[in-house]
Each structure stands twice: as structure tokens, then as C-alpha cells.
Amino acid sequence: MLGLFKKKNTIPEFNFEKIGIDMHSHILPGIDDGAPTVRESIMMINRFKDLGFKKLIATPHIMSDYYRNTPDTINKALDQVREELQKQNISIPIEAAAEYYLDETFESKIDKGNLMTMGNGYLLFELSYINYPNNLKEIIQKINDKGYKPILAHPERYPYLYGSIENFYKIREFGCYFQMNTISLTGYYGKPAQKAAQDLVDHMMVDFIGSDMHHLKHADALHQALSTEKLKFLFEEGCLQNEMLK
């Protein structure tokens, strides 16, 4: 009889519990193109919980042209979310790092240090969607030389890398990890990105997976990704390192 009154478990049978940590999202309020207010932040965080996540690392954009975030703006937004979580009695650890855009200011930021990292010095960075950055090798080298561990965000989303798997191998040889957007596997960003994501899985090149969640449509796609064979393969056979960010 007691079972009748039990709260219905909303966690799907196959979920993200095994991965546990989401390490790429835009859930901090009002500082980039993700959650506009703390209300949306909480809605997204609740969806993460329903999907089985145990810890979140928010990664607001740092871009000189659009989002001039600093550790200060990011930590203030993080405090706001943590306060609201406490107020609403929602329990999930949340930390913040950043998603750095490789623009003309990135190199000097690396030189200065004080970068927003996750785990033991992992640095998430992204590239232009339009042009291959000619200084990519040097930048990755510099990040490593400074003692950080570079993670390239969503390599499957850069069209200029399509056509040959060698393009991806080459970048990894420069000395960086790859983070795939889980929802790329559903075709959310279109067929070419989906194919590139599938190829990365097949070639065991996915080191981290992340939601890159900006809004609730991404949460729906994340749920949908749980039905893809490639994600199941990644969970069972892949070499995902999300746990390193505990």
C-alpha cells in the first residue's frame, strides 16, 4: 500500500547517472546567451537532475566581442544560483569554469593566467565556426606549457574539419582533449555534425561529453540522446573522462 503513495520516479531507466558530471553548460543567469534569469537556471538544473546528473559545471562564454565575462562576473552569477537552489531546497553541487573563445585576446589571457578551469586544471575552449584558426597548434602548445589541460569544445561542430577523420587526429596530436556535445548524436545541429559526432565515437576520440545546454530544448534533445546506440556504446566501451572532474 505504501507504494501507492511513493513519489513517481522521473529518472528514465537508462540515464546519465553513470557519467554523473555535466561539464559544459550555459545555465548561469544573465551573463551569456544561456539562461536569461535565475528562474530559467533552476528549470534547467531540475532537468539535469531528472536526467540523472549528480554535479554540474557551468561554463559561460568568454568572448571579447560579445561576452566579456571575468572570474568576477561568473562567480557572482554562480552565487546567485547557489542561493536560489538553497532557498528552494534543491540539492546538487554546482561549480563554474568557462568556455573560452579562441579570439585575438585569448593568448594574452593565457599569458596572464587566472583562467577559469575545471577539475585539475582542465581548460575548455572553442573555435570559430567559420574559419580554421591558423594559430591553433601554437595556442594548444601554449595552454599546455602554462600547465593547463586544454579541452576542445564540440569538435564535431566545425564544418571546416569535415571530410577527413585525419583533421581530427591532427588536432588531438597538437595536445588537447575532445568534448563532444551529447545532443550532436541526435542530429540536433544537423546531419553533418551528427555524422562527425558518430565518427568521433567510432574512432574513440571522445574524451568528455557535455550538454552545452542553453535552454530547455537542449534538455529535450539530451533526453532523446539516451536512445542513440552511439551514446550507449560510449557509456559501455568508450573512454569518457568526465569523472576526472569530480
Region from 131-139, 170-178, 212-220, 235-243 binding Fe ion, contact rule CB under 5 A: 212-220
Which C-beta is closer to Fe ion: that of 207 or that of 212? 212
Please state, as a whole number, how many other Cβ atoms lie within 10 Å of the Cβ of residue 9.
8
Residue of the chain from 212, 213, 225, 228 that contacts Fe ion (CB under 5 A): 212
List the x/- string, 79-118, binding to Fe ion by CB under 5 A. --------------------x-------------------
Q: How many residues bind Fe ion (CB under 5 A)?
A: 2
Give 65 or 165: the residue with its C-beta nearer to Fe ion: 65
Q: Which of residues 53-72 bind Fe ion (CB under 5 A)?
A: none
The verdict on 156 binding Fe ion (CB under 5 A) reads no
Q: How far apart are CA 149 and CA 139, in angstroms?
A: 12
The residue ranges that bind Fe ion (CB under 5 A) are: 99, 212
